[in-house]
């Protein structure tokens, strides 16, 4: 069954479950699933063969397959929600402190900051995410806590929590992020003490959530800024802006290839998760811990590629 929307064919909700099951079968037969993020010791032991995928419709109906209810470390996926929370509070003033352009460099690179005067290229590389977390910390006094409260509300899961072991592991191996924070502070682009900022940032990245949780939590971007309870978080223009930055910057320095293969705004994390948005229709989250050399889930990208190919759902 297919629903027609303008020039685009969308599958009805009845077809999502068999599509997900077909994708899971295909992924299970695919060799070469990548390697977990071994530079974070607490993530290194994850099994790269694990796989889960969920689709959430605008009304909160969720379909899933595999390990779709298994919590995993959200990592950089959380950058989308922190960006939304800060943009809702300060609006366009945020863009004086962080750019909106693809970086073309690894997510933890220091290279561009010096010749761009401490202004990160976009909110999804580590330097940009640190700036956004810093600004949210200034406005809330507890950036990580505000983020966790938001994710609990949007997912409908009050049990979501920080993984303190993951946070401690990242803190013990966080010299590069500390360098980024101090470097930007030297340009006046960080307001809070760097140790405070790093604590908030590592807690933010450590949040454990499932594919179902994250697909539901991302719904406000498919609803053009409307939260699960019907309240407005972002203007329609702001939701469009975040979706656009996800499309161009959301998968590190592989964003062009992701847009080419998947055709949806997406954001990945080195825990192996990827969220994706079909504006006006649904949201997705896929998880598999094996990463490629750019930090994106091998099976996750393949699964989203198959989803848009099989369903015809895309922003293009």
Choose, from 63, 65, 79, 288, the residue flagged as catalytic.
79
SS3 (DSSP) at 57: strand
Marked catalytic residue, from 19, 63, 252, 286: 252
Torsion of CA 56, 208, 32, 62, to 10 degrees: -10
Residue 297: active-site member: no
Q: Is 252 part of the annotated catalytic residue set?
A: yes
In the beta sheet, which residues pair with residue 159? none
Residue 120, burial from CB neighbour count under 10 angstroms (0-12, 13-18, 19+): buried
Find the length of the chain.
316
Using alpha carbons, select from 227, 282, 305 the residue that is nearest to residue 3.
282
Q: How far apart are the first and last CA of the chain?
A: 21
Active-site residue flag, 10 = no
* Catalytic annotation present for 194: no
Report the 10 Å Cβ neighbour count for 164.
Answer: 11
For residue 27, indicate whether it is catalytic.
Answer: no
DSSP labels for 2-26?
EEEETTEEEE-HHHHHHHHHHHHHH
Q: Provide the 10 A C-beta neighbour count for residue 127.
A: 30
Q: Catalytic: which of 27, 65, 98, 270? A: 270
Catalytic residues: 76, 79, 201, 252, 270
């Amino acid at each position: 069954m297919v629903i027609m929307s303008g020039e685009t064919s969308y599958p009805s909700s009845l077809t999502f479950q068999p599509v997900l099951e077909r994708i899971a079968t295909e992924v299970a037969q695919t060799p070469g699933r990548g390697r977990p993020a071994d530079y974070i010791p607490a993530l290194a032991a994850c099994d790269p063969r694990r796989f889960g995928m969920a689709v959430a419709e605008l009304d909160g109906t969720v379909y899933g397959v595999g390990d779709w209810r298994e919590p995993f470390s959200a990592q950089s996926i959380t950058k989308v929600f922190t960006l939304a929370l800060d943009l809702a509070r300060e609006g366009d003033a945020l863009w004086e402190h962080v750019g909106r352009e693809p970086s073309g460099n690894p997510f933890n690179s220091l290279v561009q900051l010096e010749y761009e005067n401490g202004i990160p290229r976009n909110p999804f590389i580590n330097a940009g995410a640190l700036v956004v977390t810093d600004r949210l910390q200034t406005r809330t006094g507890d950036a990580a806590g505000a983020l966790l409260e938001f994710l609990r509300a949007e997912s409908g899961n009050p049990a979501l929590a920080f993984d303190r072991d993951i946070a401690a592991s990242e803190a013990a191996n966080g010299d590069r992020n500390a360098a980024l924070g101090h470097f930007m502070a030297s340009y006046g682009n960080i307001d809070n003490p760097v140790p405070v900022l790093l604590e908030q940032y590592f807690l933010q990245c450590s949040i454990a959530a499932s594919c179902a949780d994250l697909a539901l939590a991302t719904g406000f971007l498919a609803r053009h800024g409307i939260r699960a309870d019907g309240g407005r978080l972002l203007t329609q223009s702001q939701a469009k802006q975040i979706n656009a930055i996800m499309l161009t910057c959301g998968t590190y320095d592989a964003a062009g290839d992701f847009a080419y293969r998947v055709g949806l705004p997406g954001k990945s994390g080195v825990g192996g998760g990827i969220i994706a948005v079909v504006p006006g229709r649904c949201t997705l989250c896929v998880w598999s811990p094996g990463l490629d050399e750019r930090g994106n889930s091998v099976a996750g990208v393949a699964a989203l590629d198959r989803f848009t190919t099989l369903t015809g759902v895309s922003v293009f």
